[in-house]
Amino acid sequence: MKPRMICTVLFLFIMVFSPTHTTGNESVKYGARDALKDSNISLAEALSYALEDKYLKQANFDYSIEKYGSIRPFVQMKIEDQHLISTLLPLFKKYNIDLPKDRARHYIKKDTESLYQAFQIQIVREKNAIKMYKKFLSIREFPKDILDTFQEQLIVSQKHLEALEQNVIKYK
């Protein structure tokens, strides 16, 4: 394997399997990766994980756009995710659930060595989001409007993954 490829694989391995962020002695769960580890998810937790995942994607897009410029799929996906955030927010109010804080900047990796690596990170995030939404959709006790919203989020994540995988080859 080429040294650059080894570095990329190592970086992605560390990013995906690094421990959950902690504050003091308490472990903080955040976003899709941690939702996949949670075995008993309430409605409030599912909505929070979904919104946190959007915060993470926004922070990653912001970082990549700042570092590499206005790369079309990142800019377009950022706008689409902003719309998806706007579909989640009313559900917090409707079900009287507190909005989670946007702590995404504490969880993003700011040491990408290349645009290719930035794409790889987004691909991992989308794959985790897809798994998360499928998991949420399997919880039939959730209200229909929640399941419909998660279905919409899933469809968009699948489209984003496809676009990222089509574009990543340009930067390899």
Domains located in the chain, CATH noted: 30-171 (1.20.1260.10)
The single-letter code of the amino acid at 118 is A
Instruction: Report the mean per-residue pLDDT for the chain.
Output: 85
Highest averaged pLDDT of the listed ranges 27-36, 106-115, 163-172: 163-172
The whole-number average pLDDT for the span 121-147 is: 96
The whole-number average pLDDT for the span 73-87 is: 95
Nearest to 77 by CA among 35, 28, 117, 123: 123
* pTM assigned to the model: 0.81
pLDDT at 21: 37
Q: Is 90 exceeded by the pLDDT of residue 154? A: yes
Q: What are phi and psi of 25, to 5 degrees?
A: -100, -5
pLDDT at 125: 92
Q: Is 50 exceeded by the pLDDT of residue 12? A: no
